Copies of this chain bind each other. A is one copy, B any other.
Amino acid sequence: MTQTDFSAWLGAQREFFDEALANSVASTSAAKAPKPLRDAMTYALLSGGKRVRPGLCQLAFESVSASQGRRSHEQSPSTPFLPAALACEMIHAYSLIHDDLPCMDDDNLRRGQPTTHIAFGEATAVLAGDALQTLAFELLAMQPDAELVRDQALLLSQASGAHGMVGGQVLDMLTPGADCGLAQVDAIHRAKTGALLTASVLLGVRAAQGDVDRWRAYAEPMGLLFQATDDLLDLTATTAELGKTAGKDAATQKPTLVAAVGESAARERAHQLAEQMADAVSILQVGETSALLLCDLSRYLLERSK
A173 within 8 A of B: yes
CA distance A304 to B274 in the complex (A): 62
In the bound assembly, the distance between CA atoms of A167 and B173 in angstroms comes to: 30
* Alpha-carbon gap, A147 to B162, bound state (A): 26
CB distance from A238 to the nearest CB of B (A): 28
Interface contact B127-A154, CB-CB below 8 Å:
no
The stretch that binds B, out of A10-18, A27-35, A52-60, A257-265, is A27-35
Complex-state Cα separation, A87 to B150, whole angstroms: 15
A131 with B167: CB separation less than 8 A: yes
Of the listed stretches A97-105, A225-233, A278-286, chain B binds: A97-105
Are A146's CB and B157's CB within 8 A?
A: no
Interface pair A153/B137, CB less than 8 Å apart: yes
Across the interface, name the chain B residue whose C-beta is closest to A138. B157
CB of A170 within 8 A of CB of B36, answer yes
Residues of chain B lying within 8 A (CB to CB) of residue A169: 127
Report the separation of the CA atoms of residues A171 and B147 in the bound assembly, to the nearest whole angstrom.
36
Are B122 and A103 neighbours in the complex by a CB distance under 8 Å? yes
Q: Which of A125-153 contact B (CB under 8 A)?
A: 126-127, 129-131, 133-135, 137-138, 140-143, 146-147, 149-150, 153
A237 at the interface (CB under 8 A from B): no
Residues of B within 8 A of A108 (CB): none
Interface flags for A157-199 (1: CB within 8 Å of B; 0: not) read 1101111101101110110000000000000000000000000
Q: How far in angstroms is the closest Cβ of chain B from A5? A: 35
| Contacts A104-B126, A123-B103, A150-B141; A163 near B32 (Cβ below 8 A) | yes
Partner of A163, one of B30, B129, B147: B30
Asked if A50 is at the interface of the complex by the 8 Å CB criterion, the answer is: no
Known: A30-B163, A122-B103, A149-B149. A137 touches B135 (CB 8 A): no
Are A161 and B142 in contact, with the CB atoms below 8 A?
no
Closest to A129 in B: B130
Interface pair A161/B126, CB less than 8 Å apart: no
Chain B residues with CB under 8 Å of A171's CB are 34
Ranked 5 nearest A-B pairs via Cβ: A134-B161, A33-B162, A138-B157, A103-B122, A141-B153
17 interchain pairs, CB-CB under 8 A: A32-B163, A33-B166, A33-B167, A37-B162, A37-B166, A37-B167, A37-B170, A41-B162, A94-B130, A98-B127, A98-B130, A131-B161, A134-B160, A137-B156, A138-B157, A141-B153, A146-B150
